[in-house]
Amino acid sequence: MRHASVAALLGALLAAASPAAAAPPQLTRGATAYQLVMADGADSLRTLGRSGPPPKNALLQLIPSGADAAPWSVGPKNCAQDQRSYSVSCTGDSAPLTIQAGGGADLIDGSASPVALNIDGGPGQDYLTGSAFDDSFTVRDGEVDIVDCGAGQDTVVADPDDALYGCERVDLPPPPPPPPAPQPAPVPPLVSPAPGPALPSPASTVALRIPGVIAYRLTTTPASARFSRLTVRGLPAGARVQVRCRGRGCPRRRLEARGTDATFSAALRRVRLRRGAVLEVRLTAPGFVGRVVRFTVGRDRVRSATLCLAPDARTPGRC
């Protein structure tokens, strides 16, 4: 009897301490678009399908994993969820899709989406990929996000530290002013032979990361990669941009530009970087921590990594 009472008490305490169950992902259909509200937590979503014609052949597939691989609240009558894979299919409707991601590091791959996307990444470090249509992204959350806008005329609202690729219209907050120069230490008096108290050193200032947007478009094959577009904009005054490359297929000389905007599209359009080649885009400016975006050509893909370059340093490191 005593053991049963203890077990009942423990069960009651655990039930009281457990947080409320998280709301499931919810899919609805508004007047002009589908609306998907994702769950909180690190999760991932792929969009697939076909747009027709005719419209009755349109198919939108949403394939979740992570926190969203669970039963959804599905409102539209033309949509259904597979209870084993948790994928959702909507037929006969090619309306755009609005996605509200939850908290956490989310991965949304819309590269094969049959409809235009409007994605709000929410809090967390997200990786968002757009469709071939005119997409919109919102990732201004104070954290570093990655957005590959894809084809189309795309719009993104972002933070200065976000990595943005292939985005045509970018809304960034104004760049912060350079940090003030430290005040010189006062000169000690020379008339006193006795050693005086130690003088305070100048207050140190923390350099900010350089703002700016790198936009590019590239084509890959199993053996090479080619940049058809590479531009930089939104840099602070006095900024310097360098394009460095090593490996087979690289340009013979280092590319460089100064100012708030730069383009290297014409110089790289006919350059085919072979597998193993590494191309770096370096952004630096007085008073800022520089940014280095490193592209490494592999088989059928190009990997990218963002590094930081401390003032007066030659070698970049982790941010």
Strand order across the 34-37 sheet: 73-74, 26-29, 34-37, 97-100, 117-120, 136-138, 155-157, 169-171
pLDDT of residue 286: 92
- Kindly provide the residue ranges of all beta strands, DSSP E only, lying in 174-316, ordered along the sequence: 208-209, 213-220, 224-233, 240-246, 255-258, 262-263, 273-274, 278-284, 288-297, 302-309
The per-residue pLDDT for range 210-238, each reduced to its tens digit, is: 888 888 888 888 889 999 888 888 889 99
The domain 209-309 having CATH identifier 2.60.40: the answer here is: yes
pLDDT of residue 59: 94
pLDDT of residue 221: 86
The per-residue pLDDT for range 288-316, each reduced to its tens digit, is: 999 998 999 988 788 888 889 998 888 99
Domain locations in the chain as residue ranges: 23-171, 209-309
Q: What average pLDDT is seen over the chain? A: 85
pLDDT of residue 15: 43
Quick check: 17 pLDDT over 50? no
pLDDT of residue 259: 93
Furthest-apart CA pair in the chain: how many Å? Answer: 95
pLDDT of residue 162: 85
pLDDT of residue 161: 80
pLDDT of residue 256: 94
pLDDT of residue 177: 74
Lowest mean pLDDT among 72-86, 174-188, 236-250: 174-188
